[in-house]
Amino acid sequence: QIAGIAHQLSLQGDAGAATWLSELIWRDFYFQVLSHNPQIAEGKSFRPEYDKIIWHHGKHADMLFDAWCNGQTGYPLIDAAMAQINQSGYMHNRLRMVVASFLCKDLGLDWRRGEAYFATHLNDFELSSNNGGWQWASSSGCDAQPYFRIFNPVTQSERFDPEGKFIRRYLPQLAGLSDKSIHAPWAATPVELEAAELKLGESYPKPVIDHAEARERTLQRYGVVRGPNAKAQSKP
Protein backbone atom coordinates (compact mmCIF):
# COMPACT_ATOMS: atom_id res chain seq x y z
CA GLN A 1 0.00 0.00 0.00
CA ILE A 2 2.80 2.44 0.88
CA ALA A 3 4.60 1.55 -2.34
CA GLY A 4 1.38 2.23 -4.25
CA ILE A 5 1.06 5.67 -2.70
CA ALA A 6 4.70 6.40 -3.48
CA HIS A 7 4.14 5.32 -7.07
CA GLN A 8 1.22 7.73 -7.44
CA LEU A 9 3.30 10.53 -5.94
CA SER A 10 6.17 9.76 -8.30
CA LEU A 11 3.78 10.03 -11.25
CA GLN A 12 2.89 13.48 -9.96
CA GLY A 13 6.54 14.48 -10.02
CA ASP A 14 7.50 13.82 -6.40
CA ALA A 15 11.26 13.24 -6.65
CA GLY A 16 11.51 11.84 -3.13
CA ALA A 17 8.89 9.19 -3.78
CA ALA A 18 10.54 8.24 -7.07
CA THR A 19 13.91 7.85 -5.35
CA TRP A 20 12.39 5.73 -2.58
CA LEU A 21 10.78 3.42 -5.13
CA SER A 22 14.03 3.19 -7.05
CA GLU A 23 15.86 2.06 -3.92
CA LEU A 24 13.20 -0.59 -3.27
CA ILE A 25 13.67 -1.85 -6.82
CA TRP A 26 17.44 -2.06 -6.30
CA ARG A 27 16.84 -3.96 -3.05
CA ASP A 28 14.59 -6.50 -4.75
CA PHE A 29 17.02 -6.75 -7.66
CA TYR A 30 19.86 -7.69 -5.32
CA PHE A 31 17.57 -10.15 -3.53
CA GLN A 32 17.15 -11.95 -6.84
CA VAL A 33 20.85 -11.76 -7.75
CA LEU A 34 21.84 -13.39 -4.45
CA SER A 35 19.06 -15.97 -4.64
CA HIS A 36 20.27 -17.21 -8.02
CA ASN A 37 23.99 -16.72 -7.33
CA PRO A 38 24.64 -17.75 -3.71
CA GLN A 39 28.39 -17.93 -4.37
CA ILE A 40 28.62 -14.14 -4.20
CA ALA A 41 27.90 -14.33 -0.46
CA GLU A 42 31.02 -16.49 -0.12
CA GLY A 43 33.47 -13.91 -1.44
CA LYS A 44 33.10 -14.66 -5.14
CA SER A 45 32.66 -11.97 -7.78
CA PHE A 46 29.44 -12.12 -9.78
CA ARG A 47 31.68 -11.82 -12.83
CA PRO A 48 34.28 -14.58 -12.26
CA GLU A 49 36.91 -12.87 -14.41
CA TYR A 50 37.12 -10.08 -11.84
CA ASP A 51 38.56 -12.51 -9.31
CA LYS A 52 41.77 -12.29 -11.35
CA ILE A 53 42.37 -8.76 -10.08
CA ILE A 54 45.35 -8.54 -7.74
CA TRP A 55 44.44 -6.07 -5.02
CA HIS A 56 46.97 -4.07 -3.07
CA HIS A 57 47.96 -6.05 0.02
CA GLY A 58 50.57 -6.07 2.76
CA LYS A 59 51.48 -3.61 5.52
CA HIS A 60 50.98 -0.51 3.38
CA ALA A 61 47.57 -1.77 2.27
CA ASP A 62 46.63 -2.38 5.90
CA MET A 63 47.71 1.17 6.75
CA LEU A 64 45.52 2.54 3.96
CA PHE A 65 42.58 0.42 5.12
CA ASP A 66 42.95 1.70 8.68
CA ALA A 67 43.02 5.28 7.35
CA TRP A 68 39.82 4.61 5.40
CA CYS A 69 38.06 2.97 8.36
CA ASN A 70 38.98 5.78 10.74
CA GLY A 71 38.32 8.68 8.38
CA GLN A 72 41.97 9.66 8.11
CA THR A 73 42.52 9.60 4.34
CA GLY A 74 43.01 13.35 3.93
CA TYR A 75 40.01 13.58 1.59
CA PRO A 76 37.33 15.47 3.55
CA LEU A 77 34.21 13.96 1.99
CA ILE A 78 35.56 10.43 2.48
CA ASP A 79 36.59 11.14 6.05
CA ALA A 80 33.32 12.86 6.95
CA ALA A 81 31.35 9.94 5.52
CA MET A 82 33.37 7.44 7.53
CA ALA A 83 32.92 9.56 10.64
CA GLN A 84 29.18 9.43 10.03
CA ILE A 85 29.01 5.64 9.80
CA ASN A 86 31.32 5.20 12.78
CA GLN A 87 29.30 7.58 14.94
CA SER A 88 25.76 6.79 13.81
CA GLY A 89 25.70 3.49 11.95
CA TYR A 90 24.28 5.26 8.90
CA MET A 91 25.62 6.60 5.63
CA HIS A 92 23.75 8.17 2.71
CA ASN A 93 23.61 6.06 -0.46
CA ARG A 94 25.66 8.56 -2.48
CA LEU A 95 28.38 8.48 0.14
CA ARG A 96 28.35 4.69 0.22
CA MET A 97 29.12 4.69 -3.49
CA VAL A 98 31.86 7.29 -3.15
CA VAL A 99 33.69 5.69 -0.22
CA ALA A 100 33.39 2.26 -1.83
CA SER A 101 34.84 3.54 -5.08
CA PHE A 102 37.61 5.24 -3.12
CA LEU A 103 38.52 2.03 -1.29
CA CYS A 104 38.62 -0.09 -4.45
CA LYS A 105 39.78 2.31 -7.12
CA ASP A 106 41.84 4.90 -5.26
CA LEU A 107 43.37 2.78 -2.51
CA GLY A 108 43.38 -0.37 -4.65
CA LEU A 109 41.98 -2.51 -1.83
CA ASP A 110 39.83 -5.60 -2.12
CA TRP A 111 36.13 -4.71 -2.09
CA ARG A 112 35.52 -7.57 0.34
CA ARG A 113 37.31 -5.64 3.08
CA GLY A 114 34.88 -2.76 2.70
CA GLU A 115 31.92 -5.11 2.45
CA ALA A 116 32.86 -6.68 5.78
CA TYR A 117 33.35 -3.28 7.43
CA PHE A 118 29.93 -2.07 6.34
CA ALA A 119 28.39 -5.35 7.50
CA THR A 120 29.52 -4.70 11.07
CA HIS A 121 28.90 -0.95 11.17
CA LEU A 122 25.65 -0.25 9.29
CA ASN A 123 22.43 -0.27 11.29
CA ASP A 124 20.50 -1.03 8.10
CA PHE A 125 22.86 -3.80 6.93
CA GLU A 126 21.25 -6.30 4.57
CA LEU A 127 23.42 -8.99 2.99
CA SER A 128 22.30 -8.86 -0.63
CA SER A 129 22.18 -5.05 -0.85
CA ASN A 130 25.55 -4.65 0.84
CA ASN A 131 27.21 -7.24 -1.39
CA GLY A 132 25.52 -5.82 -4.47
CA GLY A 133 26.59 -2.29 -3.63
CA TRP A 134 30.21 -3.25 -3.14
CA GLN A 135 30.33 -5.37 -6.28
CA TRP A 136 28.73 -2.48 -8.16
CA ALA A 137 31.44 -0.12 -6.93
CA SER A 138 34.25 -2.53 -7.79
CA SER A 139 32.69 -3.25 -11.21
CA SER A 140 32.62 -6.98 -10.48
CA GLY A 141 28.88 -7.28 -9.93
CA CYS A 142 25.71 -7.70 -11.94
CA ASP A 143 24.87 -4.50 -13.81
CA ALA A 144 27.86 -2.83 -12.14
CA GLN A 145 29.42 0.50 -13.04
CA PRO A 146 32.07 0.27 -15.81
CA TYR A 147 35.59 -0.50 -14.61
CA PHE A 148 36.79 2.87 -15.94
CA ARG A 149 34.27 4.87 -13.93
CA ILE A 150 36.31 6.16 -11.02
CA PHE A 151 34.74 8.77 -8.75
CA ASN A 152 36.87 11.83 -8.10
CA PRO A 153 36.38 12.43 -4.35
CA VAL A 154 36.95 16.17 -4.69
CA THR A 155 34.53 16.58 -7.59
CA GLN A 156 31.92 14.52 -5.75
CA SER A 157 32.40 16.70 -2.68
CA GLU A 158 32.00 19.92 -4.65
CA ARG A 159 28.91 18.59 -6.41
CA PHE A 160 27.00 17.12 -3.47
CA ASP A 161 28.24 19.23 -0.53
CA PRO A 162 29.04 22.55 -2.26
CA GLU A 163 28.96 24.63 0.93
CA GLY A 164 30.79 22.02 2.97
CA LYS A 165 27.98 21.70 5.53
CA PHE A 166 28.26 17.93 5.81
CA ILE A 167 32.04 18.07 6.06
CA ARG A 168 31.92 20.76 8.76
CA ARG A 169 29.45 18.71 10.78
CA TYR A 170 31.69 15.67 10.98
CA LEU A 171 35.11 17.31 10.62
CA PRO A 172 34.86 20.48 12.74
CA GLN A 173 38.63 20.98 12.52
CA LEU A 174 38.07 22.04 8.89
CA ALA A 175 35.29 24.50 9.70
CA GLY A 176 37.52 27.55 9.27
CA LEU A 177 38.30 26.81 5.63
CA SER A 178 36.41 28.51 2.81
CA ASP A 179 33.65 26.67 0.97
CA LYS A 180 36.10 26.21 -1.89
CA SER A 181 39.12 24.98 0.04
CA ILE A 182 37.25 22.67 2.39
CA HIS A 183 36.96 20.07 -0.37
CA ALA A 184 40.75 19.92 -0.88
CA PRO A 185 42.63 21.43 2.09
CA TRP A 186 46.01 20.57 0.59
CA ALA A 187 45.29 23.10 -2.18
CA ALA A 188 44.62 25.94 0.28
CA THR A 189 47.19 28.71 0.59
CA PRO A 190 49.46 28.84 3.65
CA VAL A 191 47.71 32.04 4.68
CA GLU A 192 44.29 30.39 4.58
CA LEU A 193 45.52 27.34 6.48
CA GLU A 194 46.97 29.57 9.18
CA ALA A 195 43.76 31.60 9.40
CA ALA A 196 41.79 28.36 9.78
CA GLU A 197 44.24 27.18 12.46
CA LEU A 198 44.82 24.05 10.43
CA LYS A 199 48.11 22.19 10.18
CA LEU A 200 48.08 19.47 7.55
CA GLY A 201 49.70 16.34 8.85
CA GLU A 202 48.86 17.30 12.43
CA SER A 203 45.31 18.55 13.02
CA TYR A 204 44.18 16.95 9.76
CA PRO A 205 46.04 14.36 7.64
CA LYS A 206 47.59 14.96 4.29
CA PRO A 207 46.08 12.87 1.45
CA VAL A 208 47.22 9.25 1.71
CA ILE A 209 47.26 8.98 -2.09
CA ASP A 210 47.18 11.19 -5.17
CA HIS A 211 43.87 10.62 -6.95
CA ALA A 212 45.22 11.06 -10.49
CA GLU A 213 48.06 8.62 -9.91
CA ALA A 214 45.78 6.13 -8.17
CA ARG A 215 43.38 6.31 -11.09
CA GLU A 216 46.08 5.26 -13.53
CA ARG A 217 47.13 2.38 -11.29
CA THR A 218 43.53 1.20 -11.15
CA LEU A 219 43.20 1.15 -14.93
CA GLN A 220 46.36 -0.95 -15.06
CA ARG A 221 45.08 -3.25 -12.30
CA TYR A 222 41.84 -3.83 -14.18
CA GLY A 223 43.82 -4.59 -17.31
CA VAL A 224 43.79 -8.29 -16.38
CA VAL A 225 40.06 -8.19 -17.01
CA ARG A 226 39.71 -5.70 -19.85
CA GLY A 227 43.10 -5.88 -21.51
CA PRO A 228 46.42 -4.07 -20.95
CA ASN A 229 45.43 -1.07 -23.07
CA ALA A 230 42.26 -0.28 -21.13
CA LYS A 231 41.72 3.48 -20.94
CA ALA A 232 39.21 5.63 -19.13
CA GLN A 233 36.22 6.95 -21.02
CA SER A 234 34.75 9.22 -18.37
CA LYS A 235 35.80 11.20 -15.32
CA PRO A 236 32.84 11.51 -12.95
pLDDT, tens digit, for every residue of 129-142? 999 999 999 999 99
Q: Is the pLDDT of residue 50 over 80?
A: yes
- Same domain for 7 and 116, yes or no, is no
Q: What is the pLDDT of residues 200-226, one digit of tens each?
A: 999 999 999 999 999 999 999 999 887
The pLDDT, as a whole number, for residue 17 is 75
Residues 167 and 212 both lie in one domain: yes
DSSP line for the chain: -HHHHHHHHHHTT-HHHHHHHHHHHHHHHHHHHHHH-GGGGGT--SSGGGGG-----SHHHHHHHHHHHTT-SS-HHHHHHHHHHHHHS---HHHHHHHHHIIIIIS---HHHHHHHHHHH-TT--HHHHHHHHHHHTT-STTPPPTT----HHHHHHHH-TT-HHHHHH-GGGTTS-TTGGG-GGGS-HHHHHHTT--BTTTBPPPSS-HHHHHHHHHHHTHHHH-TT-------
Which of 108-112, 185-189, 224-228 shows the lowest per-residue confidence on average (mean pLDDT)?
224-228
**Do residues 167 and 174 lie in contact, with contact meaning Cβ atoms separated by under 8 Å?**
yes
Overall average pLDDT of the 87-107 stretch: 98
User: Could you tell me if 64 and 14 lie in one domain?
Assistant: no
The answer on 176 and 130 residing in a single domain is: yes
Domain count, the chain: 2
Residues annotated as catalytic (active site), given as ranges = 23, 26, 55, 93, 111, 134
78-93 pLDDT, tens digit each: 999 999 999 999 999 9
Q: Is residue 233 scored above 60 in pLDDT?
A: no
Distant-in-sequence, close-in-space partners of 229: CB < 8 Å, separation ≥ 6:
223
Distance CA 221, CA 230 (A): 10
**106 and 213, same domain (yes or no):** yes
Task: Looking at the structure, tell me whether residues 105 and 10 fall in a common domain.
Answer: no
Residues 160 and 88 in one domain: yes
Beta bridge pairs of residue 64: none
For residue 234, the domain's CATH number is 1.10.579.10
pLDDT above 70: residue 183: yes
Largest Cα span, the chain: 58
Do 13 and 49 fall into the same domain? Answer: no
Residue type at 161?
D
pLDDT of residue 98: 98
Is residue 173 domain-shared with residue 72, that is, in the same domain?
A: yes
Nearest Cα to 137, choosing from 107, 108, 81, 99?
99
Q: Is 224 exposed, middle or buried (0-12, 13-18, 19+ CB in 10 A)?
A: middle
* pLDDT for the residue 24: 85
Q: Which pLDDT tens digit goes with each residue over 127-177? A: 999 999 999 999 999 988 899 999 999 999 999 999 999 999 999 999 999
149 and 69 fall within a common domain: yes
Residues 32, 46 share a domain: no
The residue with greater pLDDT, 232 or 150, is 150
Alpha carbon distances (Å) from 214 to 133, 211, 235 = 21, 5, 13
Domain boundaries, position 54: 42-236
pLDDT at 234 over 50: no
pLDDT above 90 (res 14): no
Q: Mean of the pLDDT values across residues 44-59?
A: 96
Query: Confidence band (pLDDT; 50, 70, 90) for 236?
Result: low
Shared domain check, 93 and 52: yes
